[in-house]
Amino acid sequence: MAGHESHYILPRPEFDKPVKLLIVVSPYYKDIADNMVAGAVAEIEAVGGSYEVVEVPGALEIPTAIGISDRASNFDGYVALGCVIRGETTHYDTVCNDSSRAIQLLGLQGLCIGNGILTVENRKQAEVRADPADQNKGGGAAAAALHLIALARKWGAQTKGVGFKPASDSYRLA
């Protein structure tokens, strides 16, 4: 069973300046969402970060809320949390694919997002994945966002020497 495999987990990133994340959660399945938020909060607090939590109606609204926040606030990164359990219709496929695609597109625009939207076949799978003492996918999503923030800060501070650079005093004409 995949849930019992051993996986390598990157060490937590370290930050010299505080990080602030927005956790965007759909509490459609409230108990599952609460467990995922608990895992995410623990991971953020473990690096000394701060966070805010906002709720949206469903998984499809999560990327929209992240996009709105990016334009109107100052978060370093985002944690997307929700759960989609397969039902009797193809709506499951639409919600899974479209929410994931929208989050990926936001990430490709430079946003640091940890995607913790569970896409499962049944409630039992969701419970195991959401449980902070088991698979802790909420904590994993927060860890992913934190690692992306660390990379953005690392690469954002570098320059490649291309483009306009002001002349130093030694090159100025008298």
Catalytic residue numbers read: 91
Contact 136, 39 (CB under 8 A): yes
- What tokens appear for 107 in the block? 């990430």
Residue with the two structure tokens 């939207």? 117
Residue with the two structure tokens 């049944």? 122
Q: d(Cα 138, Cα 135) in Å, to the nearest integer?
A: 9
Q: d(Cα 50, Cα 130) in Å, to the nearest integer?
A: 21
Q: d(Cα 37, Cα 139) in Å, to the nearest integer?
A: 8
Phi, psi of 93 (to 5 degrees): -65, -40
